[in-house]
Amino acid sequence: MTVDAQFLSPESLRCVGIDESVPHVVYGLENSGLFVKETDPDKRRVALENILVPAAEAMIRENPDVAAIVYECTLLAPTSAAVQKATGLPVFDVITLIKWAFSAVVQKKYDGYV
C-alpha cells in the first residue's frame, strides 16, 4: 500500500528486485483523503485507521491472493495493528523494519532450552 501509486512505478520496483515474476499488488491511496489535519495523535491515528482499514479490506477483496501488506509510507505505520486485526494478514511498515534491524545489532541472551 502506498500513498500514491504513481510514485511506486514498475521501474522503482525493479530497482529493488521486484518485477513481473514476483506476485505483488500496488494499491494507491491517492483518492482516500489520507492527509488528515487532526493534530491530536490518538485522534489522528483513529482517523487514519478509518481510512486504511476499509482500503486494506477493499484491496484484499479485489486481490484475494494477497498474503501480506507492506506499507511504503511512514505515515501509514500507526495503523498497522488495526489493519492487521481487520485483515488477519501480516503488516510490514517502517517500525517493523527498524525493530528487525535493531534486533540484529542488539542481540539479547537466549535463556531458553537449546
Encode pLDDT of 5-26 as tens digits.
988 889 999 998 999 899 999 9
Residue 113 domain flag? no
- Domain tally, the chain: 1
How far is Cα 60 from Cα 69, in angstroms, rounded to an integer?
A: 10
Residue 40 domain flag? yes
What cell does 114 get?
A: 537449546
Residues 6+ apart with CB under 8 A from 18: 24
What is the pLDDT of the chain when averaged over all its residues? 92
* Whether this model's pTM surpasses 0.95: no
How far is Cα 21 from Cα 19, in angstroms, rounded to an integer?
A: 5
Residue 55 domain flag? yes
Encode pLDDT of 57-110 as tens digits.
999 999 999 999 999 999 899 999 999 999 999 999 999 999 999 999 999 888
Residue 35 has pLDDT above 80, yes or no: no
Residue 27 domain flag? yes
Residue 90 domain flag? yes
